[in-house]
Homo-oligomer: A and B are copies of this chain.
Amino acid sequence: MTAEELRRRLESFRRGELPAEDLVADIRAEPFEDLGFAKPDHARELRQGVAETVYGESKEPGEIAAIVERLRSRTGRPVIVTRVSREKAEALLSLVPGMRYDPASRLATAGERPEPDGAGTIVVATGGTSDAGVAEEAAQTAEMLGNRVVRVYDVGVAGLERLLSHVREFQSAAVVIAVAGMEGALATVIGGLVPCPVIAVPTSVGYGASFNGLAALLSMLNSCAGGVCAVNIDNGFGAAVAASRINHPEARR
């Protein structure tokens, strides 16, 4: 059931054309089915876009494989599995023929990457080379959700000239995802340069008083630039989902 379909049904219900029982039954029947250990959520597409997503961190390869295949067979959409270690990926790929794995982003995917259909471009920027893993999680997720992505990496604010040589890319973005560890100032500086929203992703890159990303997170939350908001430390995936929602405004009308 697409968002459009749901909206139509709700409208029917409101006009009195669709009995409440039917509506409730439809919604209950639709969203998920029970695999015993997990409830893959088909209705989530309604909320997150063209691809299904599975959080892979604490699931066994067998569990992931079962969920992926059920989602594929039922919806036919591409599936993204996040936070898959190299070891887990090996097991997973042997279980699900046709899956692909990217060690930098730790994403495993099934199905084709869709054509971009977003309103504009998502720019993914990083402060340093060490932030590239999280940035790739964001960039590739955004691509799987139907967005055109431009990568601008290693432009930390301690060398302003690097950042400034990319002002054009930043200013033509629909959304910027700013990925940075250590002091996390990248988001604020970009926030001051662009008219679009900026999603800040703190990373756990750093040591000592970076406290595994806490310093970058606090820095980003305290940004004095307008239009900056933050997601969890190392959460490239979440930033991509939010950016994709911003970049698909027609999906919510």
Q: Contacts of A220 on B, CB cut-off 8 Å?
A: 183
Q: For residues 22 through 60 of chain A, which have their beta carbon under 8 Å from a beta carbon of chain B?
A: 24, 27-28, 31-32, 37-39, 41, 43-44, 46-48, 53, 55, 57-59
5 pairs across A/B with beta carbons < 8 Å? A174-B253, A185-B219, A197-B246, A208-B233, A229-B242
Copies in the complex: 8
B227 engages A195 (CB within 8 Å): no
In whole Å, how far is A150's beta carbon from the nearest beta carbon of chain B? Answer: 14
How many angstroms from the CA of A181 to the CA of B232 in the assembled complex? 14
How many angstroms from the CA of A187 to the CA of B234 in the assembled complex? 20
Which bucket holds chain A's interface residue count?
35 or more
Identify the closest chain B residue to A165 (Cβ). Answer: B28
Q: For residues 96 through 131 of chain A, which have their beta carbon under 8 Å from a beta carbon of chain B?
A: 119-120, 127-130
How many angstroms from the CA of A27 to the CA of B242 in the assembled complex? 32
Q: Contacts of A119 on B, CB cut-off 8 Å?
A: 249
Residue A91 is within 8 A (CB to CB) of chain B in the complex: no
In whole Å, how far is A8's beta carbon from the nearest beta carbon of chain B? Answer: 12
* Other-chain contact of A44, B21, B159, B212 (Cβ < 8 Å): B159
In whole Å, how far is A104's beta carbon from the nearest beta carbon of chain B? Answer: 10
The interface centre, meaning the residue of A57, A120, A223 with most chain B CB atoms within 10 A of its CB, is A223
* Other-chain contact of A226, B48, B129, B193, B214 (Cβ < 8 Å): B48
How many angstroms from the CA of A220 to the CA of B164 in the assembled complex? 22
A214 engages B218 (CB within 8 Å): yes
Residue A154 is within 8 A (CB to CB) of chain B in the complex: yes
Q: Contacts of A62 on B, CB cut-off 8 Å?
A: none
* Other-chain contact of A207, B46, B161, B232, B242 (Cβ < 8 Å): B232
A127 engages B221 (CB within 8 Å): no
In whole Å, how far is A53's beta carbon from the nearest beta carbon of chain B? Answer: 7
How many angstroms from the CA of A72 to the CA of B40 in the assembled complex? 43
Q: For residues 185 through 224 of chain A, which have their beta carbon under 8 Å from a beta carbon of chain B?
A: 185, 188-189, 191-197, 199, 202, 204-224
Q: Contacts of A251 on B, CB cut-off 8 Å?
A: 195-196
Residue A252 is within 8 A (CB to CB) of chain B in the complex: yes
